[in-house]
Structures are given as C-alpha cells and as structure tokens.
Structure 1
Amino acid sequence: MMRDFSSSSDRIVTVFGGSGFIGRHLVRALAREGWRVRVATRRPELAYHLQPLGKVGQIHAVQANIRFPESLAAALSGAEAAVNLVGILAETGKQSFDRVQAQGAAAVADAVKNAGIGKFVHMSAIGADANSASAYARSKALGEAAVLSATPHANILRPSVVFGPEDQFFNRFASMARLMPALPLIGGGTTRLQPVYVGDVAATASRLLAGEGRPGAVYELGGPAIRTMRELMAFVLAVTKRPRVLAPISFGLASTIGGITELANKALLGLLPAEFVFTRDQVELLKHDNVVSAEAEAEGRTLKGLGITPESMEAIVPAYLHRYRKGGQFADERLA
C-alpha cells in the first residue's frame, strides 16, 4: 500500500518574508505543528529550498509584494493565520526603512484585516522607538503602531540580536576576524545585548498562532544571558581561535567611518564586502542597550512567560563558527 505523504491539515498560514533567516526556522516549526505554510515573497524561486522542511505539498511559495495590495490579498486567500517577517537591516536602493518596515507593515496589516484573519504575528525589534535618532528604530515603531491600529489582536515580537547558523551577527564578526588584524569596539564595546536563538523566536511565533499568549501583547525576546559587545567579540575570537586586537573607537569616530563606508559602497554599486560596511544608523543603535525590559519580564511577555527555556549562545554558536578557524572546522582533530 502506498504511503500518503501529503499534509492532512486544512489550516493555512501565510508567512510574508518567509524565505529569510528567521523565516526558514519558522516555516519548519509551523510545518511540524501541522500547518499548511504559504510562503509569500517577491521572488518565490528563492523559497523553494523550504519545501523539504515539510511533507509533500505542505509548504509552497507564492509571489507577493508589499507595494501591491492585490498580491497581499491573494497570498492571504483562505488563510487562517499570518506572520509578517519582512524587514531589512540596512537601506539599499529603493528599499528604505520607512518603505519596508513602516509602510510595508501597514500594508500587510490592512490586508490581514480585510481578509478577516484572527491570528497575526508581526516581527519588530527591541529598541523600536518613534522618537529614536535611528531611522531603523523609528520605522520599527511606526510599523508596530500601524499593525496594532489595523489589527488590535495582533502579537508583536521584539527580539534582541537573533543568532543561528545563517545569522548576520556572529558570522559577520567571525568573517571580519578572518580578514582583519583588529575588531572595532564601537563606543568602547560597553553596549549590552541579549542574543536570542532563532529557534526560540520561531517557537514563540508558533505558540502565539496556536492561541497561547495574550492577543494584542508585545513580546520581548532575549536569551538566558546579557553580554556586552566586548564580551561577544571576545567569545567569537575564542571560538574561532583567532587572536585579534579589540580596538575601542568612539561613537563619533565610528559614525564618521560609517558615513565614509556608506558613500564608498554606493560608489561601488553595493559591491564593497559586507565585512567592511557599517552605517551611521547602526552606530546610533549601539548607543542603547538591546535587552528585554523589566516591564516585559514582570508581565510575562517573554520566552519564559510562554513556557520556552531559551538556548544559550554557548550551546549553539560554536557548531557553526568552527569553520572560521584557520585550519577549518576540523583543525584541532588528530588521528588517534
């Protein structure tokens, strides 16, 4: 008798921006929970790699663009739930923070409202602040406000720095250590962060869509420990076995350098290696700690509040940073 590998669930969840870093982990988590996952992205061909994460026919990609409401409506047709992961870490070309993270969030929320969908999770970030000097933080706050205005039942997720095998945090600094004799400590490296595992972020969204948590609540997600940028850099160097100088530079000097690298990258049509590019906006973000607030802790709007025990970076990160060692992943192995 032929075995049926198709999904038996009729529950459809649409994940906007599901082909990215957080998206692939969320798609896997939702598939395991029995959802039929519709990955909505500007370029569906870039989401085909997600199909093996579920049963045959359980995961499929559709074309959608936040600039075209009709494409959002089509992507949500027949769906019971939705997630918006669309976001950028730096502005490039027409992809501005305001267009993607404020206007884009509003467009998705309006589409969710018009579709009558009752379960909606929107990805934001710790530090979202309408009064921030950072354009990134302001756009995140505007996106949150638009989402809650259109869909008051929505849940907002505010993670700290997210880590995992494909992250742009630990991987970036490990790559820098491979290419440079020193790593910059912007503002002296005293900024505090609370790195959170991407699998825990995905589990949070999955639980909220399953009806756990409080509708309309903003959840702040951080790992089990708070570390300074200096401590995180030292951790990367220890794991990769790359002795490098940790060089403190002031916020003012870092902002000047950031402006220069922004101009150089534009002149080179975006071809400057990512390891050598940081922006003035990113420097602005580093002026403030990126940790879960005391209010969120007290009110249970955290991983712990949802019954999730966060994974530590020490347990996860070495497994994917080993490849940055001078002799490669197996440099320390010897024949017995």
Structure 2
Amino acid sequence: MQDLVTVFGGSGFVGSQVVRALARRGLRVRVAVRQPHLAHTMRLMGDVGQIEVVQANVRVADSVRRALQGAVACVNLVGVLYETGRQKFQAVHVDGSRNVAAIAKELGVERLVQISALGADEASTSKYARTKAAGEAAVRAAFPEAVLIRPSVVFGAGDDFFNKFGEMAAISPVLPLIGGGATRFQPVFLGDIAKAVAKAVSEPGHAGKTYELGGPAVFSFREILELILKETERKRILLPLPFPIARVIGVLCSPLAAFTPWAPPLTADQVELLKTDNVVSGAYPGLADLGIEATTVEAILPTYLYRFRKGGQFADLTESVAV
C-alpha cells in the first residue's frame, strides 16, 4: 500500500463505495469530509491503517491543501442536491471544484477524478445542472488531465431516488407523475460507478477523458414508479402532476432545508431537472469502454426495496403463515 488517494466527500452514498473500491486495489485512502466525527466507520472499509479520515471543506482552500498533502491522486465527489446555509450550488459545484483542481495541480497531484452529473449543461434551466457544467469547466481549466465522470440517476441501497418513492408508496395512496411521467432515465448501479472511479484513478489511459455512465436500460419516470410498485407489492394511483403545479409545490417545500434538518421532498430546481431526459448521449465513452458490464435495475432493487412491502423482509413468510 504505497499510493495515497484523497477522496473529498468520501463518506457519502457514492463516496463510501468509491473508498471501498480503492481500498480493494491496495491504495491508501484519505477520506476528506466536513464532519469527520460522523465518518468514523469509514476506517472499516479497508485494512488496519489503510484508511484515514480528515476534516476538509472544499469551500476552504487551506483545508483542501492539508487534505491533499502527499497524495498522488484525488477524487472529488462533493455535491449538493439542494441549497442550504453556506452549501450553495455555486460555492460547492464551481468554487469548491476549482479549489480542489487548482490546489491538486499546485501540489503535483498526478491524477484527478471529478464526479459531475449526466445532466450537466450550461444552458439548462436548472441551477444544479448549470453549476455542474461550470464546475467541469473550472476543473478542466485548472487541471486539464482530469477525468470527468457523469453518472445518470444512481441506484443502490441507501439511494435518494428509488428509496424516496418506495417510502412514499408505503404511506401514500397516490404517487405523483411529475410532468406526466414521460422524462427518461438510465439508472446506473452504485457499484459500477465505484468500479469506474477506481479504474480511472489507478489505471493509465484515462487522462483528460469524459465518461457518461448509464445503466443497460432506459426507463420513463412512469415506468420507474411502476417498477417500484411492483417490487414493494403496492397498488397506488399514478397521478399526473403538470410541471407548473409541481414547481409551486417545490417552491413551498424548499424552506424545509433552511429551517429544519430534513431534506425537502421536492424543490423548484429539481422540477426543472425533470424537464430534460437523463440518458447518455453516446458522444462520450461509458461503462463498456472501462470494461465494466452494467448491472440491471431488476437485479438490485429487490435487495433493498423489500423493506417497503407490508411485512418487510418477512412479507412472504407472513403471508404463508396467514394462509
């Protein structure tokens, strides 16, 4: 274990699996997070002494510099889905990404992997998507050899998408078809993203490339909700919700992030994102080009959506006893 990789945002949903994948390759990993006391379990992702946890905030240059000392590579996974406090889209996606890239170049870090998003677009009506695109540009300007990875909607235990609607299906008789449910997605498995990042960090030939990561199948929003209902064994009404009404709901829900510890169920900016399909363009290499066979949604959803069924993991047993 010689090479040290600093992973910013390494304790999150995607980050924790990236750290695990890097550790499996024998790399030393420094997990840089804003609140290290909440990330103590990260040390269990590798062998004794292989993983360390340090404090760093991508918005604060000095903390980024400390976290990058001695690293030969770094991964930036830091991102926000909604704004709260000082965690604004511009500050995190653009200024924070620029800090990581510029300081990594200054310190002689050899490789940088920047996790962006498939919807990154400087012309988007979504601030999230615009700042993701601006973040990519800032990274390219400071560190031209950086690898950009743009995943579609990510699925896996603990995800924020399938779990959200699975929970909603468990308590609500109605699920909203925002915009009519026609928006298309290409969900990509968390484990496949982790493998892709590990390859980009540790294998040659990826410098300066952009990868679009999508799964093997494309689903409409309606089809995704139908799949969730099938896996949770629920019958619910799928109610079309026009974008203008959804936006009003998003505006009303947004203050939750400012005044409570809970994430808003929907924001106006997320409604804007849903107006555009989230599928790979075909203009950039993807999982297959990295030698990774994309995992299907159907193979993974049953491993964690079972908890939203009546009876949870014991649903089948409960039914057989009742009979």
Q: Show the counterpart of 1:318.
A: 302
Count of residue pairs the alignment pairs up: 320
Distance in 1 of aligned mates of 2:302 and 2:48: 33
Q: How does 1:121-136 map to 2 (within 5 A)?
A: 121-136=113-128
Aligned 1:157-176 pairs, distance under 5 A: 157-176=149-168
| Counterpart in the other structure of 1:34 | 26
Structure 2: gaps spanning 5 or more residues: none
2:110 to 113, 118, 123: 118
Aligned counterpart for 1:309 among listed residues 288, 293, 301: 293
**1:291 counterpart letter in structure 2:** V
Kindly provide the CA deviation profile for residues 20-78 of structure 1, in whole angstroms up to 9, marking residues without a partner as x. Answer: 00011001100000000000011111221111111000011011112321211111111
C-alpha deviations, 1:95-153, integer Å up to 9, x for none?
11111111111111111111111111000001101111100001100100000100000
Q: For 2:308, give the aligned amino acid.
A: Y
1:72 is matched with which residue: 64, 77, 82? 64
Q: Which residue of 2 aligns with 1:194?
A: 186
| Structure-to-structure mapping, 1:50-129, within 5 angstroms | 50-129=42-121
Q: Give the gaps of 5 or more residues in structure 1.
A: 1-8
Normalised to the residue count of structure 2, the TM-score between the two structures is: 0.96
Match of 1:238 in 2: 230
CA distance in 2: counterparts of 1:305 and 1:213, whole angstroms: 11
Q: Secondary structure at the match of 1:188?
A: coil
Do structure 1's residue 290 and structure 2's residue 274 form an aligned pair? no
Is contact 1:207-1:213 (8 Å) kept? no
The answer to which of 81-90 and 41-50 deviates more is 41-50
One-letter code aligned to 1:199: G
1:196-215 aligned at under 5 Å gives the runs: 196-215=188-207
Aligned alpha-carbon RMSD (Å): 1.4
* Contact 2:102-2:142 within 8 A present in 1 as well: yes
Cα distance, 1:213 vs structure 2: 4.1
**Which residue of structure 2 aligns with residue 220 of structure 1?**
212
Query: Contact 2:233–2:309 (CA<8 Å) still a contact in 1?
Result: yes
Residue 134 of structure 2: aligned partner: 142
2: CA distance between counterparts of 1:149 and 1:303?
A: 25
| Matching of residue 25 in structure 1 with residue 17 in structure 2 | yes
* 2:241 aligned partner, one-letter code: I
User: How far off its partner does 1:198 sit?
Assistant: 0.6
Give the deviation of 1:266 after TM superposition.
5.7
Instruction: Give me the whole-angstrom Cα distance separating, in 2, the residues matched to 1:157 and 1:266.
Output: 28
Residue 311 of structure 2 aligns with which residue?
327
Alignment identity in percent? 52
CA distance in 2, matches of 1:302, 1:212: 16
